[in-house]
Structure 1
Amino acid sequence: MKVALIGAGLSGIKAASLLAELGHEVTVFEKSRGLGGRLANRREAWGKLDIGAQYFTARDPGFQKQVELWLQASAVQVWDFSPYCVEQGTLTPSPDETVRYIGSPLMNQLVYCLSSNIAINFQCHISKVEKSREGWRLLSADGALFSSFDWLIVSSPAEQSRTLLDSCSDVMALVPEAVHQPCWAAGLATRGKIPADVQGIFGDETVRWASRLSSRPGFRKAPDVDDVWMLHFSPEWSEQQGKETAVDIGQTGLNWLQTIMATGLEKTAQYRHYWRYANIKPVTFDQPYLLDERQRLAVIGAWCAGGRVEGAWLSAQKCIQDLSG
């Protein structure tokens, strides 16, 4: 069976690897230059930044077994720290029993571990799909045609999946019109003294989460930098600003850090990224995948199962498991 799969994030590559194990011919189409989706990273001279998911947890027994395999392969490490939170503008310890994992050396290692022997077309933006007697046909934004696929699996954000599929299937009919909210992400290289135990901060209405990346196991930073941070701004703040904001995202993040830490910091470098489809809205939709059996079409992704890294893996696992069962 020939399968076309759109999207090389964790759910897409997990589904592709399962299909390949079953002996199917799978071709993956990815519009960006690399694997990972929201597990993407940015390599700067002052540090390698995970700009999407900062860590992940494991609750499902099947996913826990996968994490054990990743740990044995040194593709994953435990990030052992006690988080802080911001309460009425004050930094407060907020210890919990949560086990947090990170990819090693970067979060997209989770995807690379699953991608061997899979044919992937990078920088290939599929702009149109249609079903014919010969199977699924895919047309890229630059005019390339890919045809004769028995099945199509789409692992894009809900809004992009709807745009792509609405003309050929009603598979997205039960999905809310808007599923995601945006997130501004800011990477900062700083100089200044910060207490060693402050590694992760649950924030406020401006910054939702702050990672002290330089405290994570195996992180390497430039010698002239004390710390490297990744700040994820709240969905409400990010939505209000929009992608074309004139606000200096890096300076805003630095000001927030200085206020929360009650100390002066010097910013030596910064990086910013706007995630249009980042956070899942508080809507009632928890179906691990969508299926149009008549058209031989499936839709998967983290957004189908709560938005977490674990959800991406489970969406693919359950979809392929049910299709092959």
Structure 2
Amino acid sequence: MPSSTSSNGQTTYDVLIIGAGLAGLSAANDLHRAGLNVLIVDKGRGLGGRLAGRRIGNATFDHGAQFMTARNSRFQASVAEWIEAGVAEEWYSSYPGHPNGHPRYRGVPTMTAVAKYLATDMNVLRTTRVDSITQEDRLWSAALDNGETVSAKALLITSPVPQTIDLLASGNIQIPADKQARLDRIDYEACIAVMAVLDGPTAIPVPGATAFDDGPIGWISDNLQKGVSKIPAVTIHGSGDFSAEHFEHDKMQTGQTLIDAAAPYLGDAKVTEYQVHGWRYSKPTIVDSEACMLLSEFTDLPPLALAGDAFAGPRFEGAVLSGWAAAKSLIAAPSS
């Protein structure tokens, strides 16, 4: 699928990828290595999707995905490469009350470092939303919110599935009934994330993280112990049930509720400032059995694939594996 230039000078990309999260960036790397001309479009300012970092004064936070594990052999090799490049390191393999498990790795200095590394040499258009997609003459056309239009021979969508379904509907893209049923089955839980700056160290035991099976808090981590922040700062993730119940409530009030619930883990430290972020599609709770979905298979559509952690599993590793699988399916898909 060599790229081409039209008579008006506009480039037709080999593959347009919607979403610069782990799935999109991982797919882009494989497609780029295959010699294809790839454009990634993302509505966010940063890279990595739910790999998210934020600064509040002198405090730094990982407020999205907190770590990664590595089970797949190719992914283990990638993690080793990231460690060698200085953008990842092992964080811990257990915390109090839990047996040793797979090593947990973190991004250095924050989780977004891995996404930035994956975006090296990639063509990424940020702070740009794809408003609609259509297909004609074996090409995909994406209308962007900046008024421009992008054409591509193949399309990969990596946004959360409910948003993907809406985008496909914008262009009246007909989805095979069996695949539509699989997409409709996928579900997500929300997460309310609190980033709180403290005036002293926390009482969270080494390694600086605790997960909870019940109650309003799902996770709390000490960004200072983790090595993310230079000053005391905690990330508090609301549980799935709490976040769903309070997602439309006043964010600051909800954040204070979580801070109050976290008091035993803050020790004598007091919160001096905090911010709240809501992840509407934080983590898939029901995932598809396949690593990606080639929607164009057995249709007249140009190559069209879906990827993300809703396909290969709700983990950092799952999103990467899904991106790799989607790239493989698009490389193999007939383009004409």
> Structure 1 length as normaliser, TM-score?
0.89
What is the identity, as a one-letter code, of the residue corresponding to 2:304? L
Which of 323, 327, 331 is the equivalent residue of 1:324?
331
1:17 maps onto 2:29 in alignment: yes
CA apart distance, 1:321: 2.4
CA apart distance, 1:287: 1.3
Distance of aligned partners of 1:69 and 1:48 in 2 relative to their CA distance in 1, 3 Å threshold: same
Structure 1 gaps, min length 5? 85-92
SS of residue in 1 equivalent to 2:288: coil
In 2, Cα distance between equivalents of 1:181 and 1:36: 19
Show the counterpart of 2:4: none
Describe the superposition over 1:101-142 as per-residue Cα deviations: whole angstroms up to 9, x where unpaired: 001111111111121222111111001101101511101234
In 1, Cα distance between equivalents of 2:330 and 2:124: 22
Show the counterpart of 2:255: 250
1:211 maps onto 2:221 in alignment: yes
Contact 1:188–1:250 (CA under 8 A) maintained in structure 2:
no
Show the counterpart of 1:83: 95
Contact 1:184–1:232 (CA under 8 A) maintained in structure 2:
yes
What is the identity, as a one-letter code, of the residue corresponding to 2:125? N
1:314 maps onto 2:318 in alignment: no
Distance of aligned partners of 1:66 and 1:177 in 2 relative to their CA distance in 1, 3 Å threshold: same
CA apart distance, 1:169: 3.2
Which of 159, 163, 168 is the equivalent residue of 2:162?
159
Which of 134, 137, 141 is the equivalent residue of 1:137?
141
CA apart distance, 1:178: 5.3
Contact 2:293–2:307 (CA under 8 A) maintained in structure 1:
yes
Distance of aligned partners of 1:81 and 1:211 in 2 relative to their CA distance in 1, 3 Å threshold: farther
Show the counterpart of 1:26: 38
Describe the superposition over 1:182-226 as per-residue Cα deviations: whole angstroms up to 9, x where unpaired: 100001122355265261111222001111111113x3324xxxx
In 2, Cα distance between equivalents of 1:112 and 1:300: 19
SS of residue in 1 equivalent to 2:50: helix
Show the counterpart of 1:175: 183
1:8 maps onto 2:16 in alignment: no
SS of residue in 2 equivalent to 1:70: helix
Contact 1:186–1:249 (CA under 8 A) maintained in structure 2:
no
Contact 1:5–1:29 (CA under 8 A) maintained in structure 2:
yes
Distance of aligned partners of 1:195 and 1:234 in 2 relative to their CA distance in 1, 3 Å threshold: closer
Distance of aligned partners of 1:308 and 1:195 in 2 relative to their CA distance in 1, 3 Å threshold: closer
1:70 maps onto 2:82 in alignment: yes
SS of residue in 2 equivalent to 1:150: strand
Describe the superposition over 1:272-313 as per-residue Cα deviations: whole angstroms up to 9, x where unpaired: 1000110212x3522110101342100111111111000010
In 1, Cα distance between equivalents of 2:320 and 2:289: 14
Instruction: Number of aligned residue pairs: give it.
Output: 309
Which of 284, 296, 303 is the equivalent residue of 1:280?
284
In 1, Cα distance between equivalents of 2:58 and 2:234: 11
CA apart distance, 1:46: 2.9
Show the counterpart of 2:8: none
Structure 2 gaps, min length 5? 2-13
1:191 maps onto 2:195 in alignment: no
1:200-239 paired onto structure 2 within 5 Å: 200-203=209-212, 204-217=214-227, 219-222=228-231, 227-239=232-244
